[in-house]
Structure 1
Amino acid sequence: MQIKNFMIDQNLKELTEHRTVMLPIACYETTINKNIHGFIPLHWHDEIQFVLIAKGEAIFQINEERLAVQEGDGLFINSGCLHMAEEKNQSGCVYICLNVSPHFVLSQELYTTYVTPYIQATNLSYLYVNANEPWGKNILDAIVKINQWIQQKSPYFEIDISIQLTLIWKNLIINRFQLEYDQTEMVKNHRMKQMLNWIHLHYAEKIILDDIARAGQLSRSECCRYFNRILNTTPLSYVTDYRIQKSLVLLQEADSNVTEVAYQVGFNSTSYFIDKFRKSMKMTPLTYKKGKIDDC
């Protein structure tokens, strides 16, 4: 299964239901450049996520850190962490994504001791899974097996998956990293989500820096520092980029036109929208629209 359009609510929480018919998990292959945006946009979810790069190379951002993940290796992304992904060097990156409810990883009796401390730790937003490390190879091999079993639905595959999830988690925590719980980091993450939430609710309206800063209970300068540190952009540049992202879906509607779309997503000038769209997408909105219609 390829998720081409990540459905995200106003809080940036992904709306895709991460479960099979019987299990609170989802496992699917994703080709990054086939997403409607050409990349996987910023989002978060309650599920923990394991990634295996099957082809090419990807750049992931988790909270404020960016890292490259090469073919054959993988990544653990913790519950509630903001993350996004783009392919590196037009490598045609394909990855297997395994999303799991933390409560399904281990039995209820073991959850408090062996799961809760890890998903609440503020210094474990992600972990690079190296195929050359025995524990890493065990995790990556288990992801491949789970992906195959979900597709094949062989007898007792649910039990097999449960066993592999226990194996994955054991191999993750044998690293024995020192867990930390920093209240400042928790507040910072919450404020960033508040600001992004406000933008996603009001992107079609006139937005000024004061509005965004107020949503995060920050000064203007501190608001700018948050965006620069975590997203490597300015608050208002993020607003522009988000408006362009929202325009992509509207432009694919047969009866839409560029001017209407520009105003629907918050631009007060068609020419300004076209200019920003061209810089972001390397084509005009009309060219993008015609290309998508031709693909249908």
Structure 2
Amino acid sequence: MQIKDFKVDENLKELTSHRTVVMPVACYETKISNNINGKIPLHWHDEIQLILILKGEAMVQINEDKLSVNEGNGIFINSGCLHSAEDLSGDCIYICLNVSPHFLLPQELFSSYIYPYIQATNLPYIRIDRNNSWGKNIIDTIVEINKLINENSPFFEINITSLLTFIWKQLIRNGFKLEYSQTEAEKHKRVKEMLNWIHLHYAQKISLCDIAKAGKLSNSECCRYFKKILKTTPINYLINYRIQKSLLLLQEPDSNVTEVGFKVGFNSTSYFIEKFRKSMNMTPLVYKKKEMVNEI
């Protein structure tokens, strides 16, 4: 089994190139459990995303909302929204379709039919239910786009552009209602700033006050933002991020648990082991030995 490391930058922006050779479009099947963390971590990107669950069930978080998506159904995730995915069934496989908003329609129509929708603060996501006729239309079209990309048949790019226009029209006619709140936009901007700061400084000594200062918030407001959007505390998020960063280091042949713990910001080996065990259901040493066996 190939284990994939999900790459994001210090702002949580995904580093994967979402495009085929000639189009700003990516469509592929993925298995959540193949990720190095066993899940798709919190991230964002400029592209819109459409997910179709082919097998099993996933828990998808978009900004502060969590929702389960089961086999045969899907979800639209808007541009710039924080999102993550966990496998609820143990075998979840889905099609992921990422598209640059600028590729959905001709540029002359962008300001009228694209920009207002990707900027709307009330549209972080839309459920796509195959029991609705428009939802089934979108789901069938995602499958068709995936097939066209895999087959690479003549003129497939032209066919895909028309299918993407069809999907967007279905969403506009049936799923989108426009609202914009400067307060909501500012809230998510501050959260990204705090996460960015954590990702840059996680290996250093960090306090709640440091994280709050990065978001220009009081300590209590900082905790409230994390609780509402990320469903955790700032310090627990920091600890879990340090553990995620430790996974690749532990896979290095010459690494040891104490050195890895200090490299990712833990000032006590016993505390690192305690928190690692709580997060991964095993000690760092057991994880290291397990990964070494998998590589043989």
2: distance between equivalents of 1:127 and 1:178? 11
**Could you tell me which amino acid in structure 1 is paired with residue 224 of structure 2?**
R
Gaps of 5+ in 2: none
CA contact (8 A) 1:3 1:30 kept: no
**Residues 6-45 of structure 1: matches in 2 within 5 Å?**
6-45=6-45
Partner of 2:111: 112
Query: TM-score, length-normalised on structure 1?
Result: 0.97
2: distance between equivalents of 1:30 and 1:265? 29
The Cα of 1:177 is off from its aligned counterpart by 3.7
The Cα of 1:178 is off from its aligned counterpart by 2.7
Counterparts in 2 of 1:234 and 1:202: CA distance versus 1, 3 Å: same
Q: Which moved more, 1:71-80 or 1:282-291?
A: 282-291
**Residues 77-156 of structure 1: matches in 2 within 5 Å?**
77-88=77-88, 90-156=89-155
Deviation by residue 1:249-290 (Cα, 9 ceiling, x = unmatched): 111111211111101100011111111101100011111111
The Cα of 1:65 is off from its aligned counterpart by 0.6
Partner of 2:259: 260
Instruction: Return structure 1 stretches of 4+ with deviation > 2 angstroms.
Output: none
**Could you tell me which amino acid in structure 2 is paired with residue 288 of structure 1?**
Y
Determine helix, strand or coil for the equivalent of 2:97: strand
Partner of 1:243: 242
Gaps of 5+ in 1: none
1: distance between equivalents of 2:254 and 2:237? 28
Q: Which moved more, 1:39-48 or 1:250-259?
A: 250-259
Determine helix, strand or coil for the equivalent of 1:155: coil
Determine helix, strand or coil for the equivalent of 2:174: coil
**Could you tell me which amino acid in structure 1 is paired with residue 272 of structure 2?**
F
Deviation by residue 1:24-53 (Cα, 9 ceiling, x = unmatched): 011111111111001110000000000000
Partner of 2:60: 60
**Could you tell me which amino acid in structure 2 is paired with residue 239 of structure 1?**
L
Determine helix, strand or coil for the equivalent of 1:111: helix
Partner of 2:165: 166
Determine helix, strand or coil for the equivalent of 1:19: coil
Determine helix, strand or coil for the equivalent of 1:267: coil
Give the alignment's Cα RMSD to 1 decimal.
1.1
Determine helix, strand or coil for the equivalent of 1:84: strand
2: distance between equivalents of 1:24 and 1:240? 35
The percent of aligned pairs where both chains have the same amino acid is 66
Query: TM-score, length-normalised on structure 2?
Result: 0.97
Counterparts in 2 of 1:176 and 1:97: CA distance versus 1, 3 Å: closer
CA contact (8 A) 2:3 2:36 kept: no
1: distance between equivalents of 2:187 and 2:3? 30
Partner of 1:270: 269
2: distance between equivalents of 1:277 and 1:4? 20
2: distance between equivalents of 1:176 and 1:68? 18
Deviation by residue 1:194-247 (Cα, 9 ceiling, x = unmatched): 000000000000000000000000000000000111111110010000000000
CA contact (8 A) 1:4 1:36 kept: yes
Partner of 1:201: 200
CA contact (8 A) 1:139 1:168 kept: yes
Q: Which moved more, 1:175-184 or 1:230-239?
A: 175-184
Count of matched residue pairs: 294
